[in-house]
Amino acid sequence: MSENIMNDVCESESTHPEIVRTVSEKLPDVELLYDVAELFKVFGDSTRVRILCALFESEMCVCDIAEVLDMTQSAISHQLRVLKQARLVKYRRDGKTVYYSLADDHIQTIFDQAFEHIME
Amino acid sequence: MSENIMNDVCESESTHPEIVRTVSEKLPDVELLYDVAELFKVFGDSTRVRILCALFESEMCVCDIAEVLDMTQSAISHQLRVLKQARLVKYRRDGKTVYYSLADDHIQTIFDQAFEHIME
DNA sequence: AATACATATGAACAATTATTCAAATGATAG
DNA sequence: CTATCATTTGAATAATTGTTCATATGTATT
């Protein structure tokens, strides 16, 4: 009855109490870190990465993006919606066609860093 | 019989042939973009983001990380495995405990950019 | 050997998500 | 108004994935 309530957790309060305390203090707010993860989650899909990289070169309409990536227009539109909600792309309408472009210069900086990390 | 094979794609070959061509040429290799997406996918989980941010401060053992994040040791261990496979963290063993630390300085740079983007 | 403890692993489950298909807007031209 | 075309949207499906639970390593101590 007085058995273990904690079966998967360390028995001790912590192996290194000082480290746990100082790291806990310095660790940024949970909500901020959650937002960071959300941003990276948007970048974490190859279709969206390809769309964004395409937009690095030029403003484009949905139809053209679909052709460059060799995917259906619907799939592209769905992903543009995600990018739009994340405020990563902006758009303007001209007649029937909608032109998308990058909303922010930070994006390319982040991507450049990622490229560097991969090729190190 | 001569109906539409393409039901969801633009009828025209492309609305802007020149843009499609030049962007297609300049777009980085698909595999590289896939790797970029894979990297961001690893960053796209709040647990992993919190682990990495904790490691920005100090080398830590699994048990301590679990306590800082208030999660089970098993969950942390599973995520450390993902980070290990992505070569984002390294580890050293000292007796029973395993200490994890950041494998690369690029990580913090990428995160700093992400923080800036969010707070703009 | 046997025990204790930190960590790792495997299977299972729940939740999220990318794409497809079908249909609906929105906008222009006739 | 009708037809056409670019784009959007919604539902459905398939695939991926984070956490939990139970169990297995690995390392020291007795």
Domain-wise residue ranges, chain B: 17-119
> What average pLDDT score do residues B1-8 get?
37
Torsion of CA B49, B52, B58, B61, to 10 degrees: 100
Say yes or no to pLDDT of A45 above 60.
yes
Say yes or no to pLDDT of B1 above 50.
no
Asked whether B45 and B83 are in contact (CB, 8 A), the reply is no
Prediction pTM value = 0.90
For residue range B26-63, what is the model confidence (pLDDT) as tens digits? 999 999 999 999 999 999 999 999 999 999 999 999 99
Q: How is A87-100 classified by DSSP, letter by letter?
A: TSEEEEEETTEEEE
> What is the count of residue pairs from A and B with beta carbons less than 8 Å apart?
190
| Chain B: closest CA distance from residue A97 (Å) | 9
**Residue A11's pLDDT is what?**
55
- Within 13 A of A92's CA, how many CA atoms are on the CB side? 6
> Does domain A28-119 match CATH 1.10.10.10?
yes
Say yes or no to pLDDT of A42 above 50.
yes
Q: Which residue of A has its CA nearest to B112?
A: A110
> Which candidate in A52, A64, A98, A101 is best for mutational testing of the B interface (most B CBs within 10 A)?
A64
> What average pLDDT score do residues A70-78 get?
97
- Rounded CA-CA distance A44/A56 in Å is 17
**Residue A105's pLDDT is what?**
87
| Chain B: closest CA distance from residue A90 (Å) | 15
> Which candidate in A68, A88, A108 is best for mutational testing of the B interface (most B CBs within 10 A)?
A68
**Residue A14's pLDDT is what?**
72
Would you place residue A40 in the very low, low, confident or very high pLDDT band (cuts 50, 70, 90)?
A: very high
**Residue A10's pLDDT is what?**
57
B120 part of contact set with chain A, CB < 8 Å: yes
**Residue B15's pLDDT is what?**
85
Topology adopted by domain B17-119 = Arc Repressor Mutant, subunit A (1.10.10)
Say yes or no to pLDDT of B5 above 60.
no
Q: Which residue is nearest to nucleotide D18 (CA to C1')?
A: B75
> What average pLDDT score do residues B99-114 get?
93
**Residue B12's pLDDT is what?**
59
